[in-house]
Every structure is written in structure tokens, then in C-alpha cells.
Structure 1
Amino acid sequence: MSEDFRCWGVVVAAGSGKRMEAGGIPKQFRSLAGIPVFEWSLAAMLASGVVEKVVVVLPPDQVLALSQDAFGVEGGKTRAESVAAGLAAVPADVSHVLVHDAARPFVSEALVRRLVEKLQGGARGVVPVVPIVDTIRTSEGSTADRAGFVAVQTPQGFERATLVRAHEEARRAGDSEAASPTDDAQLLEAIGEEVQSVPGAPENFKITTESDWLTANALVMAGVRRPVGREVDDLRAGIGVDAHRFGAPGPLRIGGVEIEDCEGLEGHSDADVVLHAISDALLGAAALGDLGRHFPEDRVKPGMSSELILAEVLAMIGDAGFRVGNVDTTVIAARPRLAHLSEAITSKLASLLEIPADCVGFKATTTDGMGLTGSGEGIAAVATAMLVRRA
């Protein structure tokens, strides 16, 4: 890249998004896979390797510092005013700019590089275009030849000084059509400059309606689109339940912790209901069947430690490509009281699962005298587990 060639990005995110607004949140600030929509394109520009910094044009009440390579400025009442505000924040020694609508989160690094390559070749303006696939009719009712039309996307690339001049000319035009363009390429054409094109991308669509929003989320959920530089976790949830009757010699084992002076639970192993419920939840989250399938009665020796069962389950989910994200367990029992052991059980579970203690939930409750657990005949446990696919 020439030393004289410097390119910055301007991401326009100052609009009100009135055509699609949820709970007062404009579309460009809605969370897409946990990331604000405008940050998706911001990340793609910076990751392209050809854009030095990005100016994000924001509503007056939402101007914020973003990162070392991106900062926000206050936008205007119209798109043209907002783009002009972004341009004003670009240093005079930056030769070129890419102007992008924040509501197009799926711009790719490759498209950014295509635009910059065209600018390096001498183009003063360049836009990405895609074929129109629908039949086009005029408002008078006649059919137009769609082969002669393309749909224009953003980012749009420009020689900075030329775009600044085009905006100045548009402002002088007052109330004319040139003063309220739908994109910046129109302004260049209005002052007689040629605008070239490069192939765009169908997935680089603009989120305008609720239908667009549903499409964007579906693409992310299916793994078709992922934010640049960030991983969208493949999460799996599972539920496990276990119950055992009292009747075995002590000690009682709950969550890997031994409780002395308490009757034990009957079972083929040590009957730790918490470890069994968690193991079952982990298997379910990974779609590996249930605990009985992997540990039939002939595999489990009397008194076998449930920690060994859990360790084998953890190995299975690891082989399936997952790690434990978090677990939550509720013990249902009239006896013994477990509140004073909550911290010890949580710590033990975290150690067995190899996750932080703040990713382990443990509670105990009763059923007010109802059923097996309420009568004190036994103990039950319900567990949920979240798995994360390993990168």
C-alpha cells in the first residue's frame, strides 16, 4: 500500500431506526449474538488490514469511547449531516474513506479489501453492487428489464477530499434532491464524478424490518455468520433428575461431600443424587443419552464412587467436543438440612467439574411433607447443565 494512501472508516449509526425499533432501542444498537449491531461492521473494517481507524457517528445521547482504533462522534438530523460529521472527524492527511451503514452487520473483510483495492487503482468513488433477483415494475405498471439494474450496498469508498467537496455542494443546493441523498455515491455523481463498482455480497443486507432482524438472527444461530474477532458460543443445555431412598449405612454423600452421622441412600453406587443428576444433565446436553444407558447395573459395583461416574461422563462430553459452562442443582429433601454445607458442596462440585465456583449453583428445598422426599423416605435432585462447544 502506498505511503500516501490512508483509509479510515465512517460507520453511520445515528439514525432513529423508526421502521424497526424494539423497546425504544434503534436497530443498530440491538444485540445480535450479544454484540451491538453496529460493532459487527466496525470489527470487520478494522480486521481487514486496510482501514486504520473508524469513526462511528452516534446519536447525541450515545456518544462513547469505543476502542483504541475507533471513536464516536455526534451525528446530525439527517443521514447527510451525520456523514458530514463523520468526515469532519477524519484527519486531513487521510486520503480515502469508507462510509458504511451500521445496520449492515454482515459486511466481510474481503469486501472491504475489494473496495480499497479499487480506490488504490485511482477510483474516486466505488460502491458494492449485487444483482436484482426480483421482477421490477414501474409505478405506472410496466415491467422493467432487471438486467439493467443492480442493488447498491455499503460500505462505499471515496477519495476523502472529493466526498467532502460533494457534501459541500449538496449543502449549497439547499432543498434540492441533492441535499437529501439516500447514499453518498449520488453526491459524487451530482458533481460529475464517476462512481465505479465492485461485486457486493447478498448476505451484506441492511436490517430494516423485523423480518430482516429474524433473518439476521437465524444466520447467526446457524453459524453461517459470525462476528469478526469474536466467537459465538455453541451452547447446549441439559436437565438431569435422580432420586434414592434412605436405607444404606452412612455416611451420606451429597455433591461429593460426606455427611457423617446420617443414614446413607440405597443404590448400586454410593447413590450421590447430586452427582448423578449432574452427570445425567451433562449427557443430555451433549445428546449422549442418559446415565442408565452408559452405566447399567452390571457396570456399577456396590458403593462405587459417583465421582468416577462423573469423571467418565466428563471425558465423554470432552470427546464430543464440549466443555462445561455452568451447572445448577437443587436438592429436594426433608432431611438432613444442607444450608450450612452449601459452600463446601459448591466448592467440591467446582473442583470435580473443573470450572469456577461462580459457575456452580447449589440449593436445597423441601416439599412441605409431600411425597417421597417430604416424608423423609429419600432424597431427590434436579440439575441443569450448560455445555459450550470447544473452539
Structure 2
Amino acid sequence: MNMIESLWAVIPAAGAGVRAGSKVPKQFVEIAGKTILEWTTDRIMSMPEVSGGVLALPRGYESHGSVRWIVETLALKHNKPLVTVTGGQTRQESVGLALEKIPPHVSWVMIHDGSRPLISRDLALRVIQAAREHSAAVCGTSLSDTVKAIVPSHQGDLCFVHSTLSRDGIVTVQTPQVFKLSLLRQCHETAKRDGFTGTDDGQLVERYGYKVAVVEGERTNFKVTFPGDFALAAALLEKQASGSEPASGAEHFGEMNRPGSGSRRARRARRLLQREEAPVPVTGFGFDVHPLVHGRKYVLGGVEIPWPKGLLGHSDADVLCHAVADAVLGALSLGDIGKWFPPEDSRFRDASSLGLLADIWSTAGKISEIVHLDCTLVAQEPRLSPYIEHMRYNISQVFSISMDKISIKATSPEKLGSLGQGQGIAAFCVATLIKKGRG
């Protein structure tokens, strides 16, 4: 198969994660600076073998801020399509819905749990290779603990041992799992028709008589499930990011290594991880204009200015904050303020534009730093210079930067055009940022 051009990833992340004990679904919990889902998606989408991805999400989370961040930023970062779908009541339903989103030209699909953020490319490659030879492949780890069958008692939660099972030939199965796309679609359709629900996609394929290859998994590739898993995953991710641990769990645990190859690969992984990505300066330009009308507040840079007229718009129509927002978003290729806060959305009616700017920066600030903002206001009246320092202060607080990184100038249109007739106010902004390395 042509892996680079015809393999898509499906990342099921629609579960509630109740066993994790968090207030939000576990995939949206932040560890080591990113949400679990972002860690997972970033690693999957960074693989050259994957040419696109589908995120299956809980209902109501399709427009969640962190989801919007993942889809817009990672699609741009890796230059690959990344789409979302609302998941179903079960994992199987969610995967089935995601399969429908994959383009018709794609031949292969990789399924990987959204709550397994420590996947390594080495593991993915081995599963892909096995699937290439056998049409279906999963990964799994052998058991180290004794396994016993138990029976319930009539004494509360107490159970009794029924028998001790042999560990021979038993593995605990992980993801990624890779399948011929047509085969997996067929098995999902048949299972739906039969009313059968499996615990993973490999079970559906094997149930209908197809062989599923198994490759050795990695013990670091665990599924974040219980409260204690968060701290362990965070520690491992931080170690990998710092270069003190290799990215492959198989190397860390001494499994699956060819004689003499593990140390060389580990050293190479450390060298790659220790290379700091050079900061990338980027520039964005923002412009906004709003009419002046009676019955509205006159707000610029979060400062309410006493004046008979105010700016007309869906929010508080703060043209300065809007221009700054568009400049920042433009520098990072993240769209414009209208895309983030649609004017038809009633939630943003009369909203503070300074607050909207802060919301944008809560996301954009994760991958960038402000170097300088150069702003110009164009207004015939009133005289704005008395309010400029207050505007600079407000905006500096949004970005948590010093005021010397913010320039705001006001100029008159000299009674030319509609602005010169006092019918509106315009704002311009040039934003210079530095992109942070994202790992």
C-alpha cells in the first residue's frame, strides 16, 4: 500500500471518562502544557504515514475552545486535513461515524484512542507494516501479573477466586490498530446489522472470520483511565520533551530491541528531542471600522470614553481590540475575529471586545509570544490622546506583557471622507510575534 497517501487516522475521543474522576472528559484535561487529546492528535498527525485524521468527539464539544485549537492549529502545523464528527453512544458507534468521514480514495485506516498520548511512531510503523501484510493488525503487551477468574459472593463487594488462568498466549490489546478500510467498514456495517457491540475494532474483524495480526505493544502506551494515570502520563511526557527519556516506550522498557540497537536509537531520540526549535518571527495586520451612532457606548481598548455617540456593532464594537485581534490571528494563520466569534451568535451580543481578545490569547498564547503591537486610531473626534495610556495598560494586561511593547497612536482624517465627517472610527494594527516550539 502507499501508506503516505492512503492512510487516515481515526481518533475516538467521545467518551465521558467517568473513571478518571475529572470534571470534564479526561481527553480535555491538560497535562504537561497540553490537553491529552492535543498530545495524542499532534503525535498522530506528525507521522508522515498519516495523511489525514478524524476526531470523534462528545456531543456538544464540536465547537469547544480546545477542539477548535486542535483542529485549526494542528491542521496548519502538519498541513493535513483534520475533521471532526459527533460521536455515538458507544466507542464502536463513534468509530463507525468517523469512518464515514474518510475520503473515498483512502485505502487504510489507523484507529488510536484519544486518551493514549504516549504513542510512538516506532510502534505505529510496526502495526502498519503488519497490517500491510495481513490486512488487519493490532498491538498488545504480555501479562506480568497472575490472572485469576473470580466469582461474586453475597458479602457486599467481596469476591472469591474461581481458578487461576494461564498467561500463555494472552495479551492486553492497545491501539493503534490498522485495517484495510473497506474491511473495517464491512465489519462495522455487519456488526450494526447484527446488533453486536465489541470492545475494540479488532474484535469486530476477528468475529467475522478474518485474521488479525498482533505486534508487541509498549507499556508506556497506556490509556489514561484512572486518576493516578494523569500524573504518570504528565511525568513521561515531560521527560520525553526534555530529552531525558526516549520517545519510544519499547526502548525505555527494554522490549522489542534488536541486540545492540536500543542504545543507538535511544541516543538518536534524545538528540532529536534536545534540538530546540528556533523561534520564528511572524507578522500580522489587522483593520477594523465601525460607525458612530446615538444610544451606544464609545469603547476603545476597553476604555469607555464619554461622548454623545458610540460605536455600532454586535459586540461593544471596540475597533482597537478588533484590529489587534485580527493582527494576532493573522500572524498565526488562525482566521479572523468573525470566525472565532460569529456575529450571528447571540452569546457575543454587546460582549466586551477586550474579553474576546483575552479569550483568543488564552489559545494563541500557547504557541506564541508578543514582540510588539503598533496600533493607529483614525478619528475626527473626540480627542483620544488622554485615554491612550489607559488603553495600552488594558491591552498589556490581556497579553501579560509590559506597556513598552504596545504603541497606540491617534490621528485625524482632517475632515476627509466619512471618517472625517465623524461618521465612524477606524483602527489599524501591526502585530509582531514569535512562535514557540510545540514539540
TM-score bucket (shorter structure)? 0.5 to 0.7
Structure 1 alignment gaps of length 5 or more? 234-324, 326-342, 344-355, 361-387
1:16 paired residue number: 16
Q: What is the alpha-carbon distance in structure 2 between the residues aligned to residue 116 and residue 130 of structure 1?
A: 17
TM-score, scaled to structure 2: 0.49
Q: What is the alpha-carbon distance in structure 2 between the residues aligned to residue 7 and residue 203 of structure 1?
A: 24
Q: What is the alpha-carbon distance in structure 2 between the residues aligned to residue 75 and residue 138 of structure 1?
A: 34
TM-score, scaled to structure 1: 0.55
**After the TM superposition, which parts of structure 1 deviate over 4 Å for at least 4 consecutive aligned residues?**
225-233
Aligned length: 239
Residues 103 and 2 of structure 1: is their aligned pair in 2 closer, same or farther, counting only changes over 3 Å?
Answer: closer
Identify which range, 128-137 or 141-150, moves more after superposition.
141-150
Is 1:171 the equivalent of 2:192?
A: yes
Residues 37 and 171 of structure 1: is their aligned pair in 2 closer, same or farther, counting only changes over 3 Å?
Answer: same
What secondary structure is seen at the aligned counterpart in 2 of 1:62? coil
What secondary structure is seen at the aligned counterpart in 2 of 1:98? strand
2:113 paired residue number: 101
2:144 paired residue number: 133
Is 1:152 the equivalent of 2:173?
A: yes
CA RMSD in angstroms, aligned pairs only? 3.5
State the identity as a percent.
33
2:206 paired residue number: 189
Can you list the C-alpha shifts for 1:42-96, whole angstroms capped at 9, x where unaligned?
1222222101011010112111450432121111111111000110101121101
Q: What is the alpha-carbon distance in structure 2 between the residues aligned to residue 232 and residue 12 of structure 1?
A: 32
Can you list the C-alpha shifts for 1:289-340, whole angstroms capped at 9, x where unaligned?
xxxxxxxxxxxxxxxxxxxxxxxxxxxxxxxxxxxx9xxxxxxxxxxxxxxx
Can you list the C-alpha shifts for 1:339-361, whole angstroms capped at 9, x where unaligned?
xxxx9xxxxxxxxxxxx74799x
Residues 209 and 232 of structure 1: is their aligned pair in 2 closer, same or farther, counting only changes over 3 Å?
Answer: farther
- 1:339-378 aligned within 5 A: 357=402
- Matched to 2:180, the amino acid is E
Q: Which has the higher helix share?
A: 2
Q: How far off its partner does 1:141 sit?
A: 2.5
Q: How far off its partner does 1:6 sit?
A: 0.9
Identify which range, 43-52 or 61-70, moves more after superposition.
61-70
Structure 2 alignment gaps of length 5 or more? 151-160, 249-268, 277-368, 370-388, 390-400, 406-435
Residues 60 and 134 of structure 1: is their aligned pair in 2 closer, same or farther, counting only changes over 3 Å?
Answer: same
2:132 paired residue number: 120
- Matched to 2:189, the amino acid is E
Is 1:43 the equivalent of 2:54?
A: no
2:101 paired residue number: 89
Q: What is the alpha-carbon distance in structure 2 between the residues aligned to residue 193 and residue 27 of structure 1?
A: 33
Q: What is the alpha-carbon distance in structure 2 between the residues aligned to residue 74 and residue 232 of structure 1?
A: 38
Contact kept? 1:226, 1:232, Cα under 8 Å: no
Can you list the C-alpha shifts for 1:248-267, whole angstroms capped at 9, x where unaligned?
xxxxxxxxxxxxxxxxxxxx
- 1:160-309 aligned within 5 A: 160-174=181-195, 179-223=196-240, 224=245
Q: How far off its partner does 1:3 sit?
A: 7.9
